Chain A
Amino acid sequence: MDLLNHLVLGSQVLFTPINIFFCFIGVLMGTLVGVLPGLGPTAAIALLLPSTFHMTPVTAIIMLAGIYYGAMYGGSTTSILVNIPGEAASVITCLDGYQMALKGRAGPALGIAAFGSFIAGTLSIIGLMLVAPPLAKFALAFGPPEYFALMLLGMVVLIYLAAGSMLKALMIGVFGLLLSTIGMDSISGTQRLTFGILEFSDGVGLIPAIMGLFGVAEVIVNLEEGITRSVVTTRVRDLMPNLQDWKDSIWPILRGSVLGFFIGILPGPAPVISAFTSYAVEKKLSKYPERFGTGVIEGVAGPESANNSATGGAFIPLFTLGIPCNSVIAVLLGAFMIYGIQPGPMMIDKYPDLFWGTVMSMYLGNVMLLVLNLPLIGIWVQVLKVPYPILFPIILLFCLIGVFSLNYSSVEVALMIGFGIFGYLARKFQYEMAPLVLALVLGPMMESNVRLSLVISQGDPMIFVTHPISAGLMAVTFVLLVSPFIPWIGKRRKKLQEKVGGEEV
């Protein structure tokens, strides 16, 4: 009964013309940036965040959340039609999606990606609704050691999955932690490495860092080779999958939804990992695994559902613990703070209208995406046909404006260019950027929690293993860290890391 009341409350919040309009703008912008290579949801949120300052928090969050799951829809379109994933989470969709397009089945591939995303999105919202409130109550038992252990685990999971050398992934993660210490110390108020620059007092800006490391660096790498893309130009028609397609896809969609949701709860680039995991599961369960990669619909349906479902799951640590588990959610967390709302265990009780309004908006957003995307695919194809030599200056421009408009600061734009150079060079030296960004996101919270834990325990570091929850989390972290030295697990890691590339978290 309680749930029903909450849903009614959410609907009352959502169904106002202004909220519906901004939900629409959010999903539309999200899809657009999902389609454009080099621009991710973070860039879109950065571009639109300043325009939300005069809105109510609910309206703003509804729009920003729409961008996030909208981008997941858009990413699949480019994977299928151009063989270039617009979003990291859609990398795996290229394998079978593009092959389907080459065989003249782009329509059903796009259709099943949209329907699968819709079903998965809806299921994950139901999961969010059911899991978040009780988890928030459980999270009240979390103190600084538990928070620290959980964040450390999140980082180590990401490092464990990093492609290539785990040592290098660890190094780049610690480098991120060091960068996150720049700025005013939140406990003592001491300025650290700010060189008198006002902008640095708040720390190294997350948005300049992400746009530099991923947006700018990605564009520059593409410029080196002068990439040419071939869009599948046959008319995309028959978007409705046929009965056989549905029969083949329904279980992958359902499995992908459940998998994505649970992986989404963990810190890290959940949409990416869940899409890869779903593909692996479907291949394993399939009667004809050898046909994967040649254009089977299950290879599109499963991962596309999983990555959408993971976006719903990713909101859970934010709403229940106040922990952002990827960079998009971290930017959203920043937005909450701007509106004076502190996400965490108390948030759902304190701001029920915000929580339930956002949840309800996700239902509506998913319906909008389904209705919008099928007819709009033609427009997205046109966007993709714009040659890269013309597209890239525009993407760079969006990065420049996006970062500047946040705080009207030239220093942050310079910082973005600096991160762009670093990201470009780091790719050459085979360092991954994902652990760096997650460390920048979690760094300040990790630092304050580790210091508070030590104050509580009067300097005894054993506090992290004497508290049961944190001890459990620490144990898993330890196993992951030593695993490369254990041959059996080491081999499994090798297999996993072959699949997960350096992606935007």
Chain B
Amino acid sequence: MEKKINHYNRISALFFIGVGMFFSFYGRTVEIGAWSEPGPGFMPFWSGIILTIMAVFLLLGSFKRKEWQVMPPFFPLADSWKRVLTAFLSMVAYLLLFELLGFTLVTFIFIAFLLKTVFPQNWKRTLIVASATAILARLIFINFLRTQLPLGFLGF
């Protein structure tokens, strides 16, 4: 079934009501202070209340009967979600591994993996691009710009 923008608005309104209420409750715990001497909770408290009120308006508005804009499918192609998930998970894996394995090696694996999985390239192209990127990035960032990137247990 095709979804309309008011369905989307309803979901996001509930999210923002949650966020707004969380911040205003939190504001109370760290002291809102008085009007003449606002404390650290002042801004979270009032902004949280404003956000909640606006989100309630959005939620109520989404129940109005009118010609709502029809939304395109959440994922435009059947396999879009795989590419999106692969890219996000690869970044998380990069983050988890690069202190351990070192910048150059992880960069090589990261680029090669994405090239081979997201829009699959042949092995020759994958290996050439991944090695060239890893080596160039190492030369630019570690050797030239002297950025302190982790070298890992292998020492490079």
A residues in contact (CB < 8 Å) with B: 48, 50-51, 165, 167-168, 170-171, 174-175, 177-178, 181, 185, 187-188, 190, 192-193, 216, 219-220, 223-226, 388-390, 392-394, 396-397, 400-401, 404-405, 408, 410, 413-414, 417, 420-421, 424, 428-431, 447, 450-451, 454-455, 458-461
Contact = CB atoms under 8 A, between A and B. Distances in A.
B115 A390 contact: yes
Contact of B95 (A167, A410, A461): A410
Contacts of A413: 95
Contacts of B51: 171, 174-175, 178
A21 B91 CA distance: 34
Contacts of A397: 107, 110-111, 133, 137
Interface in B1-46: 5, 8-9, 11-12, 16, 19-20, 23, 26, 30-31, 34-44
A76 B57 CA distance: 41
Nearest to A444: B43
Given A420-B88, A429-B11, A192 B129 contact: no
B111 A220 contact: no
A420 B91 CA distance: 11
Contact of A396 (B37, B44, B61, B91): B91
Given A50-B145, A393-B110, A224 B36 contact: no
B92 interface: yes
B141 A171 contact: no
B11 A390 contact: no
Given A417-B91, A451-B43, 6 more contacts: A178-B44, A220-B87, A224-B77, A224-B83, A405-B147, A405-B149
B87 A185 contact: no
B105 interface: no
A90 B97 CA distance: 38
B47 interface: yes
B155 interface: no
B51 to A, nearest CB: 5
Of A181, A185, A188, A408, most B-chain CB atoms within 10 Å:
A181
Contacts of B74: 428
A405 to B, nearest CB: 4
Contacts of A417: 88, 91-92, 95
A459 B35 CA distance: 4
Contact of B47 (A181, A192, A421): A181
Contacts of B145: 48, 50-51
22 contacts: A50-B147, A167-B58, A171-B51, A171-B55, A174-B50, A177-B43, A178-B23, A190-B30, A190-B40, A225-B80, A390-B129, A392-B87, A397-B111, A400-B95, A401-B141, A405-B148, A417-B95, A431-B12, A451-B38, A455-B38, A459-B34, A459-B37
A163 to B, nearest CB: 13
A171 B26 contact: no
A75 to B, nearest CB: 23
Nearest to A387: B119
Nearest to B113: A393
Contact of A394 (B16, B90, B133): B133
Interface in B57-89: 57-58, 61, 74-77, 80, 83-84, 87-88
Contact of A428 (B8, B91, B149): B8
A193 B40 CA distance: 11
Contacts of B118: 223, 389, 392-393
A455 B115 CA distance: 57
Interface residues of B, number: 65
Contacts of A405: 141, 147-149
A261 to B, nearest CB: 33
Nearest to B80: A224
B95 A414 contact: yes
Contact of B40 (A185, A216, A392, A404): A185
A285 to B, nearest CB: 34
Given A167-B58, A181-B43, A454-B36, A400 B91 contact: yes
Most A-side CB within 10 Å, residue of B39, B91, B146: B91
B30 A192 contact: yes
A389 B121 contact: yes
A128 to B, nearest CB: 30
A50 B40 CA distance: 32
A223 B95 contact: no
Contacts of B137: 397, 401
A174 B44 CA distance: 10
Nearest to A54: B146
B146 A51 contact: yes
Nearest to A403: B95
Nearest to B136: A394
B149 A223 contact: no
B100 to A, nearest CB: 11
Nearest to B44: A181
A51 B90 CA distance: 27
B84 A430 contact: no
B47 A174 contact: yes
A174 B107 CA distance: 37
B84 A224 contact: yes
Contacts of B127: none
A401 B54 CA distance: 38
Contacts of B44: 178, 181, 192
Given A175-B51, A181-B44, A188-B39, A392 B88 contact: no
A171 B54 contact: yes
What are the 4 closest A-B residue pairs judged by CB atoms, nearest first?
A459-B36, A459-B35, A389-B119, A185-B40
